[in-house]
Amino acid sequence: MAITPLILTGRVVTLDPGQPIIEDGAVYIGEDELIHAVQAEGEKAPAGFDHARRVEARGVIYPGLIDLHSHVVYNSLPLWSPPGREEPYASRAQWPRDPSYDPMVSDPGRLIGYVAGKAQLKYAEVKAIVGGVTAIQGSARTGRRAGSSGTSRRRPSRRERATSTSRWSPSTRPAGGIRSSRPGRTCATATRSSTTSRRGPPRSSSRSGRRSASTTACSPGSWPSTPPPSKRPSSASGPPTGARSCRSPLSNLWLYADTTDVVSAGAEGLRVCLGSDWAPSGSRSLLGELKVADLVNRTKFDGALFDEDLCAMATRNPADALSWSERLGRLKPGLHGDVLVMADRGGDPYRNLIEGTERDVLFTAINGYPTYGTPELMRAAGAEEGSEPIRVAGRHMRIVLVYDWIADADWGWAQVMAELEDAGGDPRAYLERHPKGEGAGTRLALPADKPFDAPKEINFDAKIPPLEGLATDKGFLAALRAGGFHGGALNAVAVPYGTALLVADRQRTLMRHNLIVAGANVLANVLVIPTLGLEAAAGVTVGSVGLLLWLNLRACVRGRHAPSLGAALRHRRLSDPVAR
């Protein structure tokens, strides 16, 4: 299925040093799924775009974010704070042995992945998409190439599907073979990834030369993922040529009270990348990790890294680490059309991405396929008909999950949520209603990829917690302040989210006022008109409108969460040497 060519206009940040920022720019994505031009909006369009759909983004256009370290099977769980423990862990070997780890993390994560793996995978990928991520790493253990025991895989292209050539599988398997090494069925859902899934078909490998690689077995070189302080590479030995370091700073601070010295790592020649790790100790999305990385840069490294350096950790650096420099990570001609549009807060565009929240994500496309966005932008991109509503961070958005030419991309968002709720309520009963084995309707299992979790038996008595929200919210920030071993170092992460949460909460307050006053007005008129006449009813209406205006103005001026936001800002001024 060929895509309709797209022209996205707005402020363009390419992450390409050759042409870093275009204030009034345009990105042209052709029906071959590649970027054809990135240029000033007023310049002559390339050939083939006479009938392209034009999306006036009115925001900042970036390359799609690349999450290079994630364990998706656990990404519906809440933050995990081991009860009774007061000291941070010294190594990765310690926390899996905590008595609370199995009942709070391992057991529920493996159970929901085994019982409802397809829904769990879709949920985790949607969670990434709404945070601006268009490529996610996933798991080396679960993505296997057909006919081999390797860990790399890629989504089959249209040409390969048509000619029945070699197929590759993502990180789902038929439930009956969760521990086998045989290849699994393709489960196409929300995002491109090196070992999980892919939203929309890629170009033919014979044309693009694309390959997808597990980041734990990537060529050239390999790298540690978020090492605790005791595992950092020493300057004496130095890294191998072309080595990379992928870190999840929130997860490091949450578990170890410290994180990778990225300034020294950069000086030693390591290419540093960001990853969200997993929900029990990481951010809701890569946007959260950018904020933690920024906080650490300001408070620990005295602002040694530029804002562009931090943004590169989520875009061009992971692309380079995967040998995808000519495929992803930048906006330049010849690369695949993975784009992210963020609301424009003004000022420095790199700062705009760092401080942006899920509420600021206006539009994403993968290979030029509109995947998620506001109703207006999805309509402009021609994706309104195939999309469905989804509510994220207080905003009504639209998302595309169903693709009729991809076998397993057949569940919409409502069904994903219904399946997860059904499976979480009674896993045994859900299991009985869904068949095992091959064929249509096969239940797919999403295996745990933590080496200490993989050999364990499934515990069907595990308690599956309620689903966490897709976006960073007040509950997540409260848990962040209350748990972990960061000693308050992560409290200031709430600052960029303060305004977004304040706006969303204020909108809910205004809506509540409108409904209450409108209902009271209707009731009053029903009671007044028969007895006192139309003039009295008109007086009631005028009074209701006046009350509504006063309530709304009061909500806008005061704001229910202004004090907490001010406290967060004061905390930032006290703890941030750059702000001082």
Q: Write down the domain spans for the chain.
A: 6-63+322-392, 491-575
Q: How far apart are CA 287 and CA 361, in angstroms?
A: 10
Q: Give the distance, in angstroms, between the CA of residue 65 and the centroid of all CA atoms in the same chain.
A: 8
In the numeric block, which tokens belong to residue 519? 């209902």
Quick one: which H or E segment has residue 135? strand 133-136
State pTM to two decimals: 0.75
Q: How far apart are CA 202 and CA 264, in angstroms?
A: 37
Half-sphere CA count of 517, side-chain side, radius 13 A:
19
Paired sense of beta strands 395-399 and 244-247, if any:
unpaired
Q: How far apart are CA 85 and CA 106, in angstroms?
A: 18
Q: Residue 468's closest CA among 90, 123, 143, 165?
A: 123
Q: What is the dihedral of CA 21, 23, 24, 25, to 10 degrees?
A: 10
In the numeric block, which tokens belong to residue 412? 């919409």
Residue predicted with more confidence, 217 or 560: 560
pLDDT of amino acid 234: 32
Mean pLDDT of 127-155: 57
The string of pLDDT tens digits covering residues 93-111 is 999 999 999 999 999 999 9
Bridge partners of residue 67, in order along the sequence = 136
Query: Which residue type is seen at 237?
Result: S
CB atoms within 10 A of CB 99: 11
pLDDT of amino acid 407: 77
Q: Give the distance, in angstroms, between the CA of residue 535 and the centroid of all CA atoms in the same chain.
A: 56
Residues 6+ apart with CB under 8 A from 132: 62, 64, 65, 285, 286, 287, 340, 342, 356, 358, 361, 364
Residue predicted with more confidence, 315 or 489: 315
Residues 6+ apart with CB under 8 A from 457: none
pLDDT of amino acid 540: 64
Name the DSSP class of 442: P
Residue with tokens 């990790």: 289
Is residue 151 pLDDT above 50, yes or no?
no
Is residue 474 pLDDT above 90, yes or no?
no
Quick one: which H or E segment has residue 480? helix 474-482
Is residue 241 pLDDT above 50, yes or no?
no
Place 462 in a pLDDT band, splitting at 50, 70 and 90: very high
pLDDT of amino acid 553: 63
Residues 6+ apart with CB under 8 A from 32: 203, 207
In the numeric block, which tokens belong to residue 323? 């040998």
Phi, psi of 366, deg, nearest 5? -120, 120
Bridge partners of residue 396, in order along the sequence = 391
Phi, psi of 33, deg, nearest 5? 75, 10
Ranking 15-24, 414-423, 512-521 by mean pLDDT, the lowest is: 512-521
Q: Contact at 8 Å (CB) between 55 and 7? A: yes
In the numeric block, which tokens belong to residue 316? 């061009």
Q: Contact at 8 Å (CB) between 125 and 57? A: no
The string of pLDDT tens digits covering residues 373-386 is 999 999 999 998 88
Taking the alpha carbons at both ends of the chain, their separation in whole angstroms is: 55
Paired sense of beta strands 271-274 and 244-247, if any:
parallel
Note the helical H segments in 100-227.
Answer: 101, 107-115, 117-129, 158-163, 205-208
Residue predicted with more confidence, 208 or 448: 448
Bridge partners of residue 53, in order along the sequence = 6
CB atoms within 10 A of CB 275: 28
Task: Give me the sheet containing 339-343, strands edge to edge.
Answer: 35-40, 21-29, 6-13, 53-63, 339-343, 361-366, 369-373, 395-399, 388-392
How many residues does the structure list for the chain? 580
Is residue 11 packed enough to be buried (19+ CB in 10 Å), middle (13-18) or exposed (0-12)? buried
Angle at 218 between CA 217 and CA 222, to 5 degrees: 80
Residue predicted with more confidence, 473 or 399: 399
Bridge partners of residue 21, in order along the sequence = 13
The string of pLDDT tens digits covering residues 171-214 is 333 444 333 222 222 233 334 443 333 333 333 322 233 323 22
- Does domain 6-63+322-392 match CATH 1.10.3720.10? no
Ranking 20-34, 41-55, 192-206, 485-499 by mean pLDDT, the lowest is: 192-206
Q: How far apart are CA 170 and CA 164, in angstroms?
A: 17
Phi, psi of 215, deg, nearest 5? -70, -10
Residue predicted with more confidence, 466 or 221: 466
Residues 6+ apart with CB under 8 A from 321: 68, 215, 218, 223, 244, 246, 271, 273
pLDDT of amino acid 449: 83
Quick one: which H or E segment has residue 341? strand 339-343
Q: How far apart are CA 42 and CA 377, in angstroms?
A: 21
pLDDT of amino acid 247: 87
CA distance readout (Å), 343 to 54, 351, 352, 361:
18, 12, 8, 7
Q: How far apart are CA 127 and CA 284, in angstroms?
A: 7
Is residue 123 pLDDT above 50, yes or no?
yes
Q: Contact at 8 Å (CB) between 119 and 416? A: yes
Report helix, strand or coil for 389.
strand
Is residue 330 pLDDT above 70, yes or no?
yes
Q: Contact at 8 Å (CB) between 311 and 295? A: no
